[in-house]
Amino acid sequence: MARNIIIDTDPGQDDAVAILLALACPELNVLGITCVAGNVPLTLTSKNALQICELAGRPDVPVHAGCDRPLGRELVTAEHVHGSTGLDGATLPDPKMKLQEKHGVDFIIKSLRDGPEKTITLCPLGPLTNIATAIKQAPDIKQRIAQIVLMGGAYFEVGNITPAAEFNIFVDPEAAKLVFNSGIDLVIAPLDVTHKALTSKKWITELRNQNNPVCEAVAGWTDFFERFDSEKYGSSGAPLHDPCVIAYLIAPELFSGRRINVEIETKSELTRGMTVADWWGVTDRPSNALFLGDINADGYFSLLTKHLAKL
């Protein structure tokens, strides 16, 4: 039986690839997509999600707009990475699909309350504002969530938006703190994993050789955001962050990690949004997450090509 998931996202080129991967996999049943402000403002993340569904040939997937700002802070966005649209690098037609009327947070709550307990996995790919808001509004759903598998945070790789913080957690650290302290089963794909799976010219060429509109779009997006990471890190490719969440659900054997305690820093000006990961077990704080630390990069990119070529 396919695993039921809700994708919470702020597309973003790598979010787009994650969504496409999920829609291509028969092992996953995407109940809906909820959008949040993050890489770009909510109006754009919502439009981008609609465009991605249409690119995948899946106009049946409901897309809901969620929160347009963090819980208690001004929104920080990342057009410097993703371009003005969030999906620069491939031109997609304006969507014919329409957003659902129900707010994304309400959709999450209703889906969890209406479905059997522990049968829906939440897959946040951006700031955790929608997830935290849902938990605040309906604490009963905590017991109904099968698992939260998210992209965010870092330990050995420290930060990519500040010296200490990864972008998704930095944008809304209060939301992240609430989710990390919720008692829900968490799996975290941090920069420590995503930075071990870099795109390459060979892989982009392989995508283009599929003669497939989806693969062509992914190749264009990858070409675009590679330039930022190559300049920043001096690498030949770029990390493809968010698809790690979906790949973990499909093929967890590609990943390894440790179940540890992870806390979120919200007060310090220097380390706001830091994921304080007790990788070495030096505190007596109880573990609250599986923190992924390694990935089979070749297997990961083979998985992506295999499934994207189906769309």
Range of the domain at 162: 3-308
Query: So what's the pLDDT on residue 229?
Result: 67
Please name which of 196, 198, 199, 190 lies closest in space to residue 159, comparing C-alpha atoms: 190
Residue 240 φ/ψ, nearest 5 degrees: -105, 85
Exposure of 238 in the CB half-sphere (CA atoms within 13 A): 22
Which residues are bridge partners to 147 per DSSP? 121
pTM of the model: 0.97
List the chain pLDDT tens, one digit each, 311 residues. 899 999 999 999 999 999 999 999 999 999 999 999 999 999 999 999 999 999 999 999 999 999 999 999 999 999 999 999 999 999 999 999 999 999 999 999 999 999 999 999 999 999 999 999 999 999 999 999 999 999 999 999 999 999 999 999 999 999 999 999 999 999 999 999 999 999 999 999 999 999 999 999 999 999 898 777 667 777 778 899 999 999 999 999 999 999 999 999 999 999 999 999 999 999 999 999 999 999 999 999 999 999 999 99
Please identify which of the residues 64, 82, 241, 307 carries the catalytic annotation.
241
Query: So what's the pLDDT on residue 77?
Result: 98
Query: So what's the pLDDT on residue 226?
Result: 74
Give the span between the Cα atoms of 27 and 250, in whole angstroms. Answer: 7
Query: So what's the pLDDT on residue 29?
Result: 98
Number of domain units in the chain: 1
Residue 139 φ/ψ, nearest 5 degrees: -55, -25
What are 217-259's pLDDT values in tens digits? 999 999 898 777 667 777 778 899 999 999 999 999 999 999 9
What are 88-106's pLDDT values in tens digits? 999 999 999 999 999 999 9
307 a catalytic residue: no
Tokens linked to 111: 């889906």
Query: So what's the pLDDT on residue 238?
Result: 87
What CATH number did the domain enclosing 286 receive? 3.90.245.10
Please name which of 14, 172, 150 lies closest in space to residue 81, comparing C-alpha atoms: 14
Spatial contact of 128 and 170, defined as CB atoms under 8 Å apart:
no
